[in-house]
Structure 1
C-alpha cells in the first residue's frame, strides 16, 4: 500500500511540477496550469520544459532538478523516449510520486510493454512511485489541485462533494465527471490509473479509505490487475463504512482461454469478478448512470444493506402520482427480483383512520387523490412499516412543474436510518433531481438505473472465510505433482478432501474386476482426455463380467479412433449410482481473482443452460447452503409439486469440503470438477473426477504433506 507521504502527494499535493508543459496555451500540456489557476489551487505549480525560458511571469525550468523548492507531485507530459530520464531526475529531486500522461508504453504492444517494465524497474530502484503511464491525471476538487489534461476541467465551477472516483479509463473519468456535474454531484478526488504499471487501483482505494473528504468510492474498471491488494483495500473500506460502487466493462478472454472444464466455460472471468465484488462488499451496477445515482443511497443507508444468510430483503413499497411511470419502474424491479408489495389490510385501515383512503394494490396510486401533507404522512407511515424493506416514491409531472406537491414531502419526511427511501422522477425534471440530491436523497432519472441501483444495494455481500480455520489436507503419495490427473487420481484427491466418491477400481489394463456388485459403469482412464463421453470412453449399466469385458474392448477401439494421441492408462470400474438430480461442482483458480467454487445444474448440458452459483473459495457450510438456494435446478428436490424431497445438508458439506482445494499450500490446483454429482434422498455421491495442477505454481507446492 502507499505510504502516507506518497498518498498525500498523490491525492493532495502542495507543490506540483508540470514536466513537458507547453508554452502554447492551445496544447493539452498547457491545460494543467490553466485548470489549477481557474479552480483556485493555492499550492505551488512549476513549469518544466527542456527549452526553459518563461511564460508571462512564470519561469520555465529546464529540468525538475532546477526547481529551488521541494516537489510533491510530478506530472510527466514528455514524449515516451524522454520519460526514463525525467523519472531519474524526479528520483534525484526526492519527488515521492510521478503521474505519467505520456503514452507509447504497454498499450501499444510488446515493445511498449517491455519499455514500461524497464521504466518501472528503474523507478522502484530509485524509490519513486508511478501512476500510469497513459494516465490522464488526478484531481482534488476541494483544493483545486487539477493535475490533469482532461478537458472536463474546463468547467467554470468544479463541484465539491464526498464522492471519489478511480478509473482505469481516462476518457471515462472525464465523461463521468461531466455527467456528475450536470446532475449536481460533487466530487472529492478523481484518479486515472492508466496502465496501472505501479500504483494500482487497490492502493488508490486504500488511500481513499483514509481520506477525510471521501465518503463513497466509485470504480470504473476494465479488468482486475491486482485482486489481492484491491481485496484488502475493499475490506478496509467496508470496515470503515465507506461504500464502494463498481461498474466493470466487458469480459476477459484471458481466463476463458485457459479454461479446460465446464466450470470455466460456464462462469468465465466476469462471473469470477462478480464473486470477488460480492465477497468484498462492492455494489456492482450494470447501468452506467446507476454508478452515480446509487451513491446517495449507499452513503445514507450503508448500515441497512442485508447480510449474507439474512432474508433477501426485496419488498418495495411504491407510492406514486403517475400510474404509467410507476409501471415502468415496477416492471424493471420485477426483472431484478423485487416485489412491489401491496399494503396489508390493517395498514389500509390505519391510513383511513388518518384521513387517507388507499387500496391494497402493489402500487399505491395517489394521482389527484392526496394533498402534499397527506403524501408526506403516507411516506412517514410506510417508512415505519414492517411489511416492506424500502420505499420508492415515483413522481409524475408535478416533479417538473409543481415540486411542492410530491418532491417536497420526500425532503421533509422523517427518515429512519434502517429503511431506505429513494425516488424515481418520471418526467425530465433536472431541478427536482438536483434538489433531492442536495438533500442526500437517491433520485433516479430512468427506470432502468433505478432498478439496477436498488438491485446492487440489496445484493447481500459475502463474508470471506479464511483457510486458517480449515483442517489440514493430507494428499496420497501416488498423486503426480504436475499436469492433469487422470480420473482415478483425481478421485483420490477428492477423497482426501472428504468428498463422497462412488466405489471404484482402477484396472491398469483390461481384465476382471474383483468384489464388484453388478451392474457397473466403466470409463477409460487417461489424463489426456478431459471429457470422456465425447471420446466414446464411457459405458454404463453393465450387467456382468462378460459385458464389462466386451465394453473395455470396444472402448479401446473407440477412444483410439477419437483421440489417437491420448495415452490410455486402463479402466475405471465404478458402481452404478443414481440420484434425484445431477449437479456440477467445480473449482477454478481464476487468473484474475484466484480460487472460486461453482455449484450448478450438471450433466452433459451444463454449458448449454447455465444455472449456477459462484463464490470465492473456500466457503463455509452456511455459504454453501446459500449457493444451493441460488441454483434453480435444486428446487426439483425440495418437494416442488409433489416431487421427491432430499436432505440438502450433505450437499452443503460436499460443497464446503470441495472448496478446500483453495486451502492447499500454494493453491496448486488450476481446475477441478465433479460432473455429475448425484443428489440422493439423504446423501450425495460423485461419479466423475477431473483435476489439473497449476503449472505456473510448479505443481503441488512444498508443504503439502502426503498421507502416511
Structure 2
C-alpha cells in the first residue's frame, strides 16, 4: 500500500471495526465506542461481539463477514490467542490497518515473540499494517476518532491543536495529553505504537510529515526500532520544517534496564541514541513538560535564529530579581549565560527614559510601567549582543494576568530572535494567554532553561554521503585482527600510524629505530598488558633481547595454548595529548564514532564526544571542541599547541570505517591516539569483525 493509503486508513478511517467491543461501560473494551460518540466522530463504527446484538444503542455484529460495508481500520481487543485467527476476516472486510490493544506477545519474552512474529508474517501476507500489539490506541482530536482505551479521553472536551504525539508508552501518552491540555496545548494526532512489531515510530513520523494539522511532532521514546526508517522520516520532517522534539528515558543505567523490561526491547547505548537524534535534527529534552512547552519556540524560530556563539547569550528582563536569579542559575547549569547589556545599550535606553544597569539580570523593578517594559523588550529583541530574550514575570502573573502579559503579547516580535517567558508563580491564566498568543511560556526555571539549551544546541546537518571504501584484500574478513593488521587497515584509510614491524617470536633483531615498544602479537591475547606481553622504552639491542625473553616467558604462563603470530616492534612516540578514537556498530542506530580523553583521565571523569559515522570535517571539529581536555593543546595557559587540523582529519578518516561494506566491522579503537605539534599518530589499535 502507498504511504497515502496507509495514512488515510490510520488517521482518517471512514469506517472502523471494534473487534471485542463491550457494552459494559466498566470495561476498557467499551471505551473506544463511547469516546468516539462523545467526541463527535462522524465515521461508521461497527462493534464486533459474538454474544451481543446491540452495544450502546447501536447494532453489533457477530462476525466481520456480516458488516454492511468495507472498513479501513480494525481495533482488536480480544484475548491474545484469538488475535491471529481474526486477521483474515479483518482483511476480507477491507482493513488496511489493524491496531492491536491485546497484550501477551513480544513483551512477555521469547515465547510471546514467536507468536508475535507469526502474527506479523500473516498480516503481511494479507497486505495489512499492524500497530502494536500492546498498543493503547490512537486518536485524531480534530475528527473525534478516538480509537483508544486511554482514560485521558474521558475529558468532557478535547483541545484540538497543532501538536502530534508518538509514544512508546501507552500510559505516558495519556499523561502527556492531560498535562498539555491543562496548559492549553491542543493536539492533532496521538499514537501509542506498543511493541512496534510492524509499524514503528518512524512510520508514524513519516505519515505526520504530510498531515496538515500537525505542526510539531513530539516523541516519547524508550528505544529506537528500525533506525533506517526513522532516520528517513526525521530527514523528511526536517526538509518540511516540522520540528521534532523527543523525551527519551534511559539516561541512567537503571533507566536503560527499565526501558528493556517494559517492552522487551534492547534499550542500547543512550549516548549513541542521543547522537542519532542530534544527527537527524531532533531536539531531545531533559524534562517531561519541556516536551510540549518547547513547541511554540521551535515552531516559530527553529532555523531562523541563525548562528550564535558558545555559550548562547540570553538577555533576562524582569521586575522580580529573585525569581530571575533562579532561572539564570539554571541557564548556567545548562551551558548558557545571562548576558549584561553593554554600555552603548544602557545609554540608548537612558535616552528613552528607561534606566538600567550593566548586570546579568535587567531588573526594571515594580516601579516600571507596562509601556516601559514593552519598550525595553522590543529594544532587546532588536539587539545583536544577545541570542534570545527571556522575560521573568512575578506575582502579577497570578493575580493580574492580563496586566502581566500585556507588554509581552503586544510587543513587536523579532522573526529571528527567540522570546521566552518564565512565570514565577503558579499562574495558569497567564500561561494560557501566552500560549494563545504563540509565546513560549514556562512554569518552572528548570524546563525554561532546558528548552533554551535544547533550542540552541547545534544539530548536525543531514548525514554525508561518501563513496564505498574497499577493504585491503590481504587482511582477514572475520574475527579479531592483530594490532599490526589493524594498523594496516587504518593506514589504508589515510591515518598516520607508528612505524612498526612484525618479527618471529624467537627473533631478536628488527629494523625499527630505537627507542621502541615490543608487544606480543596474537589473536588469542587481546589484552596484551594483562598477559605481560608488552615492554616499553627499550633503548638498545641488549634491552630488546631481554624484553623478548621476558615476554615469551610471561605469555607461556598466561596463555600456554595461544597461537602466536610473532612480536610487534613499534617506534616510541611522544605526545602533547593522549586521546581515544573509537568506532562501534551500535545495535540500535548503526555506526558511531567516539573521540575522548585517553589514559586514566577517561576513567576518572568521562570526557568524550560521539556522532553517527561517517562525519564531516565540521562535525569532527565540533567533536574536538566538545572534548574538554583538548583545551590543553589549544594554547591553554601558554602550553604548546597540537595539530588540531590533523586531529580533525584523522577523525574524519577513521569514521570512514562506516563506508566499508565488504566486511562487518563491529568495533574498532585507537587507544592511544597521540596528538603532537605537527601530526597525529595512531599508536595502538584493534578491529573486531563480525
- Alignment TM-score, normalising by the size of structure 1: 0.93
Which one of 652, 655, 670 corresponds to residue 656 of structure 1? 652
Offset of residue 402 of structure 1: 2.0
Secondary structure in structure 2 of the residue aligned to 1:676: strand
Indicate yes or no: 2:542 matched with 1:556: no
Contact conserved, 2:279 with 2:463, CA < 8 A, in 1? no
Secondary structure in structure 2 of the residue aligned to 1:180: helix
Secondary structure in structure 1 of the residue aligned to 2:289: helix
Q: What is the aligned partner in structure 2 of residue 621 from structure 1?
A: 617
Contact conserved, 2:268 with 2:588, CA < 8 A, in 1? no
Indicate yes or no: 2:582 matched with 1:586: yes
Indicate yes or no: 2:116 matched with 1:116: yes
| CA 1:547–1:572: 2 relative to 1, 3 Å | same
| CA 1:268–1:170: 2 relative to 1, 3 Å | closer
Q: What is the aligned partner in structure 1 of residue 533 from structure 2?
A: 537
Deviates more, 1:545-554 or 1:179-188: 545-554
Q: What is the aligned partner in structure 2 of residue 240 from structure 1?
A: 240
Q: Deviations over 1:576-607 (max 9, x none)?
A: 10110101111111110001111111124434
Q: Deviations over 1:514-559 (max 9, x none)?
A: 3221111111112233332233222111011121121122123333
Contact conserved, 1:97 with 1:130, CA < 8 A, in 2? yes
| CA 1:376–1:8: 2 relative to 1, 3 Å | same
Indicate yes or no: 2:135 matched with 1:139: no
Question: How far apart, CA to CA, are the structure 2 residues paired with 1:539 and 1:561?
Answer: 17
Contact conserved, 2:583 with 2:593, CA < 8 A, in 1? yes
Superposition pairs of residues 72-91 of structure 1, within 5 angstroms = 72-91=72-91
Q: What is the aligned partner in structure 2 of residue 706 from structure 1?
A: none
Structure 2: gaps (5+ residues) = 258-266
Q: What is the aligned partner in structure 2 of residue 218 from structure 1?
A: 218
Secondary structure in structure 2 of the residue aligned to 1:102: coil
Q: What is the aligned partner in structure 1 of residue 151 from structure 2?
A: 151
Q: Deviations over 1:103-147 (max 9, x none)?
A: 010111111110000000000011011100000000000000000
Q: What is the aligned partner in structure 2 of residue 14 from structure 1?
A: 14
Question: How far apart, CA to CA, are the structure 1 residues paired with 2:182 and 2:213?
Answer: 21
Q: Deviations over 1:165-213 (max 9, x none)?
A: 0000000000000101111110000000000000110000000000000
CA RMSD between the two structures: 1.9
| CA 1:508–1:476: 2 relative to 1, 3 Å | farther
Structure 1 stretches of at least 4 aligned residues deviating more than 6 Å after TM superposition: none
| CA 1:228–1:359: 2 relative to 1, 3 Å | same
| CA 1:395–1:566: 2 relative to 1, 3 Å | farther
Q: What is the aligned partner in structure 1 of residue 261 from structure 2?
A: none
Q: What is the aligned partner in structure 2 of residue 293 from structure 1?
A: 293
Contact conserved, 1:513 with 1:573, CA < 8 A, in 2? no
Q: What is the aligned partner in structure 1 of residue 454 from structure 2?
A: 456
Q: What is the aligned partner in structure 2 of residue 702 from structure 1?
A: none
| CA 1:539–1:306: 2 relative to 1, 3 Å | farther
Q: Deviations over 1:358-411 (max 9, x none)?
A: 001001011223100000000000000000000000111111112344311111
Q: Deviations over 1:6-27 (max 9, x none)?
A: 2111112221111000121110
Q: What is the aligned partner in structure 2 of residue 261 from structure 1?
A: none
Q: What is the aligned partner in structure 1 of residue 200 from structure 2?
A: 200
Indicate yes or no: 2:404 matched with 1:396: no
Offset of residue 52 of structure 1: 4.1
Secondary structure in structure 2 of the residue aligned to 1:606: helix
Q: What is the aligned partner in structure 2 of residue 343 from structure 1?
A: 341
Question: How far apart, CA to CA, are the structure 2 residues paired with 1:563 and 1:425?
Answer: 67
Contact conserved, 2:670 with 2:683, CA < 8 A, in 1? yes
Q: What is the aligned partner in structure 2 of residue 372 from structure 1?
A: 370
Q: What is the aligned partner in structure 2 of residue 639 from structure 1?
A: 635
Secondary structure in structure 1 of the residue aligned to 2:535: strand
Secondary structure in structure 1 of the residue aligned to 2:367: coil
Question: How far apart, CA to CA, are the structure 2 residues paired with 1:253 and 1:530?
Answer: 27
Offset of residue 689 of structure 1: 1.2
Indicate yes or no: 2:477 matched with 1:481: yes
| CA 1:379–1:198: 2 relative to 1, 3 Å | same
Q: What is the aligned partner in structure 1 of residue 48 from structure 2?
A: 48
Secondary structure in structure 2 of the residue aligned to 1:452: helix
Contact conserved, 1:305 with 1:457, CA < 8 A, in 2? no
Contact conserved, 2:581 with 2:669, CA < 8 A, in 1? yes
Contact conserved, 1:162 with 1:215, CA < 8 A, in 2? yes
Contact conserved, 2:634 with 2:641, CA < 8 A, in 1? yes
Question: How far apart, CA to CA, are the structure 1 residues paired with 2:212 and 2:482?
Answer: 55
Question: How far apart, CA to CA, are the structure 2 residues paired with 1:578 and 1:479?
Answer: 29
Offset of residue 312 of structure 1: 3.8
Question: How far apart, CA to CA, are the structure 2 residues paired with 1:394 and 1:167?
Answer: 32
Q: What is the aligned partner in structure 2 of residue 504 from structure 1?
A: 500
Contact conserved, 2:470 with 2:662, CA < 8 A, in 1? no
Contact conserved, 2:47 with 2:55, CA < 8 A, in 1? no
Question: How far apart, CA to CA, are the structure 2 residues paired with 1:41 and 1:348?
Answer: 58
| CA 1:564–1:195: 2 relative to 1, 3 Å | farther
Q: What is the aligned partner in structure 2 of residue 262 from structure 1?
A: none
Contact conserved, 1:582 with 1:603, CA < 8 A, in 2? yes
Question: How far apart, CA to CA, are the structure 2 residues paired with 1:473 and 1:232?
Answer: 23
Offset of residue 562 of structure 1: 4.0
Structure 1: gaps (5+ residues) = 258-266, 695-708
May I ask how many residue pairs the two structures share in their alignment? 681
Question: How far apart, CA to CA, are the structure 2 residues paired with 1:679 and 1:55?
Answer: 74
Secondary structure in structure 1 of the residue aligned to 2:495: coil
